[in-house]
Structure 1
């Protein structure tokens, strides 16, 4: 009898310990979900915008385990269960636009013409990576009109000079700080410019390109700081740089493309605010996430490399390229400039409170 009682007590203690572990893990996931709702720019808050898919998968697995041990008569356990369900639901809701369950934000092009199409390849090469031949093979495979590379230093500038035979129009700013940028274009560039919008160490590229039809397209290429204490303890300047360019785009109302490694994910509040402030469309909505980072870790991937464009374009195709040596996958997109596109697609817009937030963030970034 005594031995049986000891076994029962031991099993009860193990059950209670398991419940405590599950409750702690559930509360940690709830905390990780709730923290980004705070509109603070500290890196350790904003970094939780990134792993929504990972938190969702972990939350669903934890939810299944929790239900096995849940005692519905204990109010605290029920409250924690409810919070976990809300957290998982919120994470899934934020990612839902980047699934095939919602309508396209960018319509598919009907019969695109080479004269009005633009093909762009965006690649973060990873500065210390030396697999230039593999990258040149990707260029040959996609045959883009414009190539943007970031994290490019002098070594990469030399390694990619062979591109200039086919891409005579270039804009270069190689740096050994991981913020170097190289641009190669078959299309004529008008007023190409390298700007340092908020920091002398963070370049961005701006120009117009001329399509074979003669139409001109404004293009902006960016690579702001990541939310990482090694680079930036706050995301204030990252957000402000994107919003400054976005505001210029919105006021212009001309065919425009903004692309690059934003060091922010597609589903974050700050990227959504940028999209509304700029009035640009996201071709991934309704099609997929196109996770571009981390190419070396399949368990930790999210979309960092973006191409947003005005409603003057429809989509021919968008693809995530193959892994080739960098920690980023390249992103390829082909867009078609079509006269009816603007009237057939709804551009996002800010409300009054969002307008004030945009102005406040730009002002904070300029301080």
Structure 2
């Protein structure tokens, strides 16, 4: 009788340990469906996706230790992982992201990035099915279609990186409801339409990268409401209208790239007098008027590119008061008169001043 009790106790122990240590069969099935929709021919990263326990030694998969539910999928095609180093190549994968991923409803991280050949659309079920998703990174593929309209329901999302794909349509207006979002990168797609005017509701955001799309309309002044925003890049679009003066008053903004758009009007003096901005590129627009004479001892630009505009008048003498100016480009405007003496002009080349109406002085011809 004692032997039977011991046998039964052992069975119970095995059953409990299996239920605690092994991932749920439904999660395993969802992962296998995800694998079936993808083809990775060179590295064999999916060879480890076998056996009953997807929480142990499945490449790129990790589980919540408290309930063994799949919590993270991290598959990067450019990695320092030994698999990549041994093969001596970056990853290449074709296929698409299966909607089966939406069955993993405790997922907090979904990274399927830099595989170059993945096509198809973003599964429309993601916003409604993955309520605790914090990181969605699909950069560097060939994903097409639209960004799901209800993306704004991903209330815990901190990183949204869909850059370097072939997405079309508009930026969903609901995106401004992502109250936890810190990093937004939609650059290098084919997105059109306007930037939501109330983008300023994204109060946690530190980077807004929207370059290389087909966005039109004006730059929302509400960007200035985002206290933590350090990096705005909306270059290479079709934006028009004025540059909001409020951008120059943002407390931690250090990089502002607005080049290659259709912006017009004067350069707000607040941009050039900002003590925090150190990269400002507003080249290749239709900006006109005089350059504001507002530089001073707190001016510190590693890059100040105002080239290919319609600026007139002279170069402000206050530029020589700047604490530091690294790369300065005033070429292809309608500037006139003598180039001021001293720093930073004494270390700049003639190309910084080329193709203006009548600039003179070193490093150009003498006045």
Instruction: Give me the TM-score of the superposition, normalised by structure 1.
Output: 0.21
Structure number with higher helix proportion = 1
User: Relative contact order, CA 8 A, sep 6+: which one is greater?
Assistant: 1
Q: Specify the structure having the higher radius of gyration (Cα).
A: 2
